Amino acid sequence: MSVNNIPMLRTEKRAALEDTVARWKAAGQRVAFVPTMGALHEGHLSLVRLAKQHAERVVVSIFVNPAQFAPHEDFGSYPRTLEADLTKLQHAGVDLAYTPLADEIYPKGQDSDIKAGEAAKGLESDFRPHFFDGVVNVVARLFEQVKPDIAIFGEKDYQQLKVVEELVQTLGLPIEIIGAPIARDAHGLALSSRNAYLSAEELAIARKLNVILRKESPTPSSRPTAGGGEILRSLDYARDDIKEALLEAGFDKVDYVEERWGRKLAAAWLGKTRLIDNIEI
């Protein structure tokens, strides 16, 4: 739907972003927004394509948000490929790339401490307790600046999608949140900027994550139990089974395997790289 035979605009400035979006809205055009941290791959471009189906104008932000990284995490080494990202966005027909510096998002003296809601409990938060508060703070600020009609979030970060849906509801924002299906490589590996960290050997193991998640677990009754007669709940059984299979496949550590929102969700480590994925049950 997007109207696009003019070159993509790019700004680092909130005021320029707001002026442009206001002009579009005054002309009756709907605005879809895709927030990213850059290092763009086909998964991000699929979000852009979805955005273009829903609105006349598409804004993409590129901002590596320090607030969602703990001090020991990879903020410093997170891949930054701005020029290549901008070329991809231009080719994808994006109208405006917003590439703010930190001061534009976190002006001094304007701290906010929005807390992530119920959806943030468990799963990622058990292992990255800072993460969703960092996400909701940056997303709320970006929403306030971009004022989109629609915002697209990938289903790969399924819990994040749920946290953002809850945020919009809690803040009463007139923004429609749309989840985009997970983009995968030919082996089913969910595309992620962090896949760039994987060695060839690790990549081969990483590709087993989705395969193992998809495997049907045998029913609990068909598995002998240590205590003889102890009844395992099917979820516990499936969870342990999947964890075991991941470790056997070569993953170094499994943070969680859980079922929620009609999905089976997992996070596991390969060396220094943490991968997440989920599938519909």
Q: CA 193, CA 75: separation in Å to the nearest integer?
A: 13
CA 146 to chain centre: 19
Q: What x-and-dash track marks residues 68-97 binding ligand PAF by CB under 6 A?
A: x-----------------------------
Fill in the amino acid letter for 117. Answer: G
Burial class (CB in 10 A: 0-12, 13-18, 19+), 220: middle
Contact with ligand PAF (CB under 6 A): which of 92, 96, 139, 212?
139
Contact with ligand PAF (CB under 6 A): which of 2, 14, 17, 36?
36
If one asks whether residue 99 binds ligand PAF (CB under 6 A), the answer comes out as no
Tell me which residue has tokens 């943070």: 255
If one asks whether residue 35 binds ligand PAF (CB under 6 A), the answer comes out as yes
For ligand PAF, which is the closer residue by CB, 37 or 92? 37
If one asks whether residue 37 binds ligand PAF (CB under 6 A), the answer comes out as yes
For ligand PAF, which is the closer residue by CB, 69 or 251? 69
The residue count for binding ligand PAF (CB under 6 A) is 10
List, in sequence order, every residue forming a beta bridge with 153; answer none if it has no partner.
179
Task: Give SS3 for 243.
Answer: helix
Q: CA 212, CA 263: separation in Å to the nearest integer?
A: 14
- Provide the annotated active-site residues: 44
| Interface residue list for ligand PAF (CB under 6 A) | 35-37, 65, 68, 135, 138-139, 157, 160
